[in-house]
Amino acid sequence: MDERAERRWREIAPAKLNLALHVRGKLPDGRHAIETLFAFCIDGDRLTAEPSGQLELGIEGPFADQLFDRDDENLVIRAAIELAGEAGLECAARLRLEKRLPVAAGLGGGSADGAAALRLLTAMWGVDPAHASAVAPRLGADVPACLLSITCRGEGVGDRLELIDDPRIAGTAVLLVNPGLDVSTRAAFAGWDGVDRGALREWRDGRNDLEAPALALVPQIAGVLDWLRARDGAEIVRMSGSGATCFALFADEAARDRAADAVPDQWWRLATTLR
């Protein structure tokens, strides 16, 4: 029997954070020009695959009920179909997604899942990784960064990437907190006031220009930010992406864990580390 047929492939879809996100204007196609610093956590959703005679997807985990598994609405399925088409292969695999991250939370969950599918199926099907790189931008603006899942600066719509080697990022203790509410990325960008507040230079002095429109949509985000800022050892507190997840970078794991233990029960939390 082919050794491949007996294997199961596994991938983490790391949670994505925007350590800073500056909106600089609008592009001719109506999308927004941004400057952002992508960072990734060691934790996230989990995806497995094994050979099958057809394309199948099962979804489980605490946030499974927030997802659709129809072919045209799930980025894992779309990634598989697009990759197979790009590589000239039959699209066949048994995929299982463990959805551990909240949906529409500013963590790149869907993009990270699609990117994980590209990495996993590239390995399982034995195809050229260049095919995954070609497919990623078709799936969404964040997918190229999530395909890399390493610290990088994003420009354009976030798809023009430059790798960043900053020793202050990898290994940093971080606490993610979400008030249990989602924010539409489209609505957050639509609520941006159109003011260019300047370029992203030093990310630690940066900002998230989607915070104000996200707060207008989900005022509870303000309570999460205030709560995180009050934690001992919290060095940088911001909202990620279009929200509603907020994060705090901590001086050490002990301070992060003390904060995690105190998170109100009604909020989702994840104590993790940056890659």
Q: Which residues are 155's β-sheet partners?
A: 160
> Each residue of 222-264: pLDDT tens digit?
999 999 999 999 999 999 999 999 999 999 999 999 999 999 9
Residue 6: what pLDDT? 56
Check whether 110 has a pLDDT greater than 70: yes
> Each residue of 133-175: pLDDT tens digit?
999 999 999 999 999 999 999 999 999 999 999 999 999 999 9
> What percent of the chain lies above the pLDDT cut of 90?
93
> Each residue of 5-18: pLDDT tens digit?
458 899 999 999 99
- The better pLDDT of the pair 191, 74 is held by 191
Q: Give the integer Cα–Cα distance in Å for 46 and 13.
A: 6
List C-alpha distances in Å: 256 to 82, 105, 176, 252, 266.
40, 20, 10, 7, 19
Q: The tokens 């199926």 sit on which residue? A: 121
Q: Which residues are 250's β-sheet partners?
A: 173, 234
Q: Write the burial class of residue 123 (CB in 10 Å: 0-12 exposed, 13-18 middle, 19+ buried).
A: middle
3-class secondary structure, 219: coil
Residue 69: what pLDDT? 42
Check: CB of residue 76 under 8 Å from CB of residue 113.
yes
- For 173-273, the fitting CATH number among 3.30.70.890, 1.10.10.10, 3.30.70.20, 3.40.50.300 is 3.30.70.890
Residue 7: what pLDDT? 80
Residue 73: what pLDDT? 62
> Each residue of 257-267: pLDDT tens digit?
999 999 999 99
Question: Residue 26 catalytic?
Answer: no
Where do the domains of the chain lie? 3-163, 173-273
Beginning with the edge strand found earlier in the chain, give each strand of the sheet holding 268-273 in spatial order: 234-239, 246-250, 173-178, 268-273
Q: Where are the beta strands (DSSP E) in 217-267?
A: 234-239, 246-250
Check: CB of residue 80 under 8 Å from CB of residue 219.
no
Check whether 197 has a pLDDT greater than 80: yes
Set 16, 45, 99, 182: catalytic member = 16
Set 43, 45, 113, 142: catalytic member = 142
Question: Residue 71 catalytic?
Answer: no
Cis peptide before 244 (omega within 30 of 0): yes
Residue 68: what pLDDT? 55
Cα–Cα nearest to 255, from 231, 236, 229, 224 = 231
Rounded mean pLDDT, 171-199: 97
Cα–Cα nearest to 113, from 158, 90, 80 = 80
> What percent of the chain lies above the pLDDT cut of 70?
96
| Angle of CA points 210, 215, 216, to nearest 5° | 105
Does this chain's domain 3-163 share its CATH topology with 173-273?
A: no
Check: CB of residue 103 under 8 Å from CB of residue 243.
no
Query: Has domain 3-163 been given CATH number 3.30.230.10?
Result: yes
> Each residue of 27-73: pLDDT tens digit?
999 999 999 999 999 999 999 999 999 999 999 999 999 875 444 46
